[in-house]
């Protein structure tokens, strides 16, 4: 599985405070994910890539075309708001911020992200399942 970087945190700002940084990091993550998936495919392996360039639908289509003729399924990995808040604090953002303000920022980010994502073939909450179970859930959902 390949996922974008730690959005905006290196500058000490939340993702919702740095939409340009968010877009740049998402684009780089998506480009690298496509390269990895194609490389693995040449050796007979399948890949799972989470969330292409959220909110940039034309770029989405371009990257998806680059994966053809491989089969493409869109999968969204997510976590509970509490888990996201805990991860933000562990990564350095939100330390000392009142819990209500932190949760409000997380909620805004989740809503913004969900609105921009569009339709997915499968959604998995990674805060409730371990890595192996996440993969099995995705594969079971996508199998015809």
pLDDT digits (tens, 9 = 90+) for 75-99: 778 888 999 999 888 888 878 889 9
Whether pLDDT at 100 is above 90: yes
Tell me the torsion sign for CA atoms 35, 15, 56, 128. Answer: positive
**78 in Cβ contact with 124 (< 8 Å):** yes
Instruction: Work out the pLDDT band at 10, boundaries 50, 70, 90.
Output: low
Q: What pTM, to 2 d.p., does this model score?
A: 0.52
What is the structure's pLDDT at 52?
Answer: 58
**Percent of the chain beyond pLDDT 90?**
9
What is the structure's pLDDT at 85?
Answer: 92
Say how many C-beta atoms besides its own lie within 10 A of residue 89's C-beta.
15
Rounded CA separation 85/8 (Å): 15
Calculate the average pLDDT of the chain. 76
Instruction: Work out the pLDDT band at 102, boundaries 50, 70, 90.
Output: very high
For residue range 37-76, list pLDDT tens digits in order: 888 888 888 777 665 555 555 556 777 777 777 777 777 7
- Give the HSE-up count for residue 108: Cα atoms under 13 Å, Cβ half-sphere: 12
For residue range 20-31, list pLDDT tens digits in order: 777 777 777 778
What is the structure's pLDDT at 3?
Answer: 46
């Amino acid at each position: 599985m390949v996922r974008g970087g730690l959005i905006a945190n290196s500058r000490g700002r939340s993702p919702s405070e740095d939409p340009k940084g968010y877009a740049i990091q998402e684009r780089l993550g998506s480009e690298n994910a496509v390269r990895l998936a194609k490389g693995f495919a040449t050796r007979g392996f399948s890949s799972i890539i989470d969330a292409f360039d959220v909110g940039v639908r034309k770029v989405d289509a371009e990257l998806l075309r680059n994966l053809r003729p491989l089969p493409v399924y869109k999968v969204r990995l997510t976590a509970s708001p509490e888990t996201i808040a805990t991860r933000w604090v562990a990564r350095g953002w939100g330390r000392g911020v009142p819990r209500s303000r932190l949760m409000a920022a997380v909620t805004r980010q989740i809503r913004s992200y969900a609105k921009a994502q569009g339709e997915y073939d499968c959604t998995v909450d990674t805060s409730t399942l371990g890595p192996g179970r996440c993969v099995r859930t995705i594969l079971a959902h996508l199998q015809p």
